[in-house]
């Protein structure tokens, strides 16, 4: 027998030895996926039906939920007011921008006028901050402490906590 024919025969048998288990594993994996999918499908359908039922109940005007069906945390009933996002450039370097989203936790009923005054005060303060002042964890902590102090002064103690939702510097 020729050595070339011998290696071709070994190559073909090696390919078959690899292909057969691969086909078997593919069939087993597909079957397992089908079984798991059938087990989960009733749960998904039940969740969709429950969401549709809640939506029908909430059609009377205000249901306290977002479009996705998840209840909002920052509601006046909770005493939390989410301020509009603050986007401005830094004092130095002026080509760097900062975006900050803050929520205020009020003691008692939220006051929109105080929330708006706090928003404007935070905006004015952020415009005086340089990039070097807010770099690193210590700089962020100093910024947070300064903002909390300004909020406490502006709200005259009516805001008990300032919650940072996002903080991005570009």
- Assign residue 103 the CATH number of its domain: 3.30.479.30
- pLDDT at position 37 is 79
- pLDDT at position 170 is 87
In a domain, 25, yes or no: yes
- pLDDT at position 6 is 56
- pLDDT at position 93 is 87
- Same domain for 82 and 165, yes or no, is yes
- Same domain for 21 and 55, yes or no, is yes
Domain that holds residue 156: 76-169
In a domain, 68, yes or no: no
d(CA 30, CA 35): 9
- Same domain for 160 and 80, yes or no, is yes
- pLDDT at position 9 is 58
Mean pLDDT in consecutive groups of 10 residues from the start of the chain, 170 residues? 56 79 91 82 73 66 49 66 91 90 88 90 93 90 93 90 90
- Same domain for 82 and 44, yes or no, is no
- pLDDT at position 5 is 54
- Same domain for 32 and 115, yes or no, is no
Residues 105, 163: contact at Cβ < 8 Å? yes
- pLDDT at position 75 is 64
How is 62-126 classified by DSSP, letter by letter? --SB-TTSPBPS--GGGTEEEPPPEEEE-SBSTT-EEEEEEEEEESSS--HHHHHHHHHHHHHHH
- Same domain for 86 and 138, yes or no, is yes
């Amino acid at each position: 027998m020729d050595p070339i024919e011998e290696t071709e025969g070994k190559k073909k048998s090696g390919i078959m030895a690899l292909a057969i288990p691969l086909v078997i594993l593919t069939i087993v994996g597909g079957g397992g996926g089908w079984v798991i999918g059938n087990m989960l499908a009733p749960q998904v359908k039940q969740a969709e039906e429950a969401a549709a039922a809640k939506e029908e109940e909430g059609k009377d005007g205000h249901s306290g939920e977002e479009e996705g069906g998840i209840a909002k945390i920052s509601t006046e009933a909770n005493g939390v007011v989410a301020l509009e996002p603050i986007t401005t450039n830094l004092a130095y370097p002026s080509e760097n921008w900062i975006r900050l989203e803050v929520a205020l936790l009020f003691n008692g009923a939220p006051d929109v006028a105080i929330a708006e005054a706090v928003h404007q005060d935070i905006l004015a303060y952020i415009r005086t901050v340089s990039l070097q002042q807010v770099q690193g964890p210590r700089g962020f902590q100093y910024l947070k402490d300064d903002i909390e102090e300004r909020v406490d002064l502006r709200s005259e103690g009516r805001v008990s906590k300032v919650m940072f939702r996002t903080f991005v510097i570009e």
